[in-house]
Every structure is written in structure tokens, then in C-alpha cells.
Amino acid sequence: MTVSDTRFSPAGAAQTAPDQGPDLVSLVGSRMAHDLNNPVGAIANGVELLGLTGQADGPELALITESVENARRRIKSFRIAFGAAAPGQTVAADEIRSLIAPGPDGRRMEIDWPVPATLFRTDAKAVFLALMCLESALPWGGKVAVRPEATGWHLVAAAERMRVEPDPWLILEGGPVPGDLPAKAVHFALLARELAAQGRSIAITGSDTSIDIRF
């Protein structure tokens, strides 16, 4: 199964609802990421102190350290992808670089993204959601290039093998969000919603070994 060529207008009713106040989904995402980051950070500090005092050493401490770092990276990534992004807010380039760099999270997708010095949080949110969509199609790994364009972003994923489940991608093509959408595919609906809120359209092309996204 490949991703078919498609374009859709973000003004479609299937992708956005009338403005009824603040984006509660994004606010919940920000709140959860903020509240979870503090205890995870405390655990990381405690593990570091144990290592300095010599009270714990060996594979057990290494495993805990790796797990804590994995949790912190995921929380920070989720905060960008699922959290609130007010117009004009920016994200530090160093933070983005640290999150897309290879780490202990077991991610098989290699990301090539020369992060600009100034990156708006709305752009980071859309790109992170798009990366999550591409990662869903790359269970065996692959490479993704992220580049800015004059009016948006261009992402290209390449891999020898891909697994494209059609239903979630149809949401990006303008289809309705199914009532039984699994949690593992929620980022597809959120990307469609975010692009609609930003007034952007999306273009997707694909083959057996590549997916090209522009928005």
C-alpha cells in the first residue's frame, strides 16, 4: 500500500470545528508534559547523585539512567507535538536538536534536520506531528529529511520497507476522523487539525519506498 497523490484544503469541515474557545486538547498536553517532567527530573537527579557517591554502580544504574533519559526525551517531544503553541512563541534550536538526535529511545528513524536558529513553536508542532506520522510508516527504520521552504515545510521519508496503513493517512487527505481511531494513530488527526488551524494545505505523494509531505 502506498500513499496516493493528494491535496486538500484546510477549510474543510472534516478537519476543523468552529472556534469554541481555547484548544483544550493542547492545553491538556502541555499540562501533562509539565507535571510529568518535574518528577522525572527529580529521579534523574537522584540517579546522578547515586552515581557520584558510588552507592550504586553497574548495569542496574545504567538501565535506570537510560530509562529516565528516554522518558525525559519523550515528554519533551510530546509537549511540542501535543502541547499548546501560541503564535509568535519560539523553541530553542538546541532543544530540537537534542530531541531529534539518536538517543536511548530505540527510535529507528534517522532525522536529518538543520534546525534554524529561530523556530516558531507552531512550526515545530506541525513538523513533530508530521514526523510521528512518518515514523508510523517506518517500523523497520528509515531516513527522514526536513527542510524549510518559502511558505512552509518539506519532509521526505525513505526506506527499503514501509508499512502504510491507509485509514490514518486518509485523514490527512481530507477524510473524516473515524470514531474507532486507535490511540497509536492520533497524531494523524492532530496534524490535520493543526494545519487547518494554521490555515495551511498539505500535499502528500508516495511510493513503495518513500513518502513526500509538503505543508
Q: What is the pLDDT of residues 24-46, one digit of tens each?
A: 666 666 666 666 666 666 666 66
Task: Tell me, yes or no, whether 131 and 213 share the same domain.
Answer: yes
Collect all residues with Cβ–Cβ distance below 8 Å to 122 and sequence separation of at least 6: 85, 87, 89, 194, 198
Task: Tell me, yes or no, whether 121 and 181 share the same domain.
Answer: yes
User: pLDDT tens-digit profile of 101-123?
Assistant: 886 666 789 999 999 998 999 99
Task: Tell me, yes or no, whether 126 and 210 share the same domain.
Answer: yes
Task: Tell me, yes or no, whether 117 and 210 share the same domain.
Answer: yes
User: Taking 60 as the threshold, does the pLDDT of residue 4 lie above it?
Assistant: no
List Cβ<8 Å contacts ≥24 apart for 199-202: 199/10, 200/10, 200/126, 200/152, 201/7, 201/8, 201/9, 201/10, 202/7, 202/8, 202/10, 202/172
Q: With H, G, I as helix, E, B as strand and everything else as coil, classify residue 165.
A: coil
Question: Whole domain around residue 53: which residue ranges?
Answer: 24-83
Number of domains in the chain: 2
CATH number for the domain including 113? 3.30.565.10
112 backbone φψ class: left, alpha, beta (φ>0; ψ -120 to 50): beta
User: Taking 80 as the threshold, does the pLDDT of residue 64 lie above it?
Assistant: no
Confidence at residue 201, expressed as pLDDT on a 0 to 100 scale: 95
Task: Tell me, yes or no, whether 111 and 197 share the same domain.
Answer: yes
Q: With H, G, I as helix, E, B as strand and everything else as coil, classify residue 176.
A: coil
Question: pTM higher than 0.75 for the full model?
Answer: yes
Task: Tell me, yes or no, whether 47 and 147 share the same domain.
Answer: no
Task: Tell me, yes or no, whether 208 and 146 share the same domain.
Answer: yes
Task: Tell me, yes or no, whether 132 and 192 share the same domain.
Answer: yes
Task: Tell me, yes or no, whether 32 and 51 share the same domain.
Answer: yes
- Which of 83, 111, 128 is at the close of a domain? 83
pLDDT level of residue 198 (50, 70, 90 thresholds): very high
- CA dist 36 to 73, 105, 118, Å? 12, 17, 27
Task: Tell me, yes or no, whether 70 and 127 share the same domain.
Answer: no
Task: Tell me, yes or no, whether 125 and 44 share the same domain.
Answer: no
User: Taking 60 as the threshold, does the pLDDT of residue 52 lie above it?
Assistant: yes
How close are the terminal C-alpha atoms of the chain, in Å? 22
Task: Tell me, yes or no, whether 113 and 196 share the same domain.
Answer: yes
Q: In 52-206, which ranges are E strands?
A: 90-92, 109-112, 118-120, 142-148, 153-158, 202-206
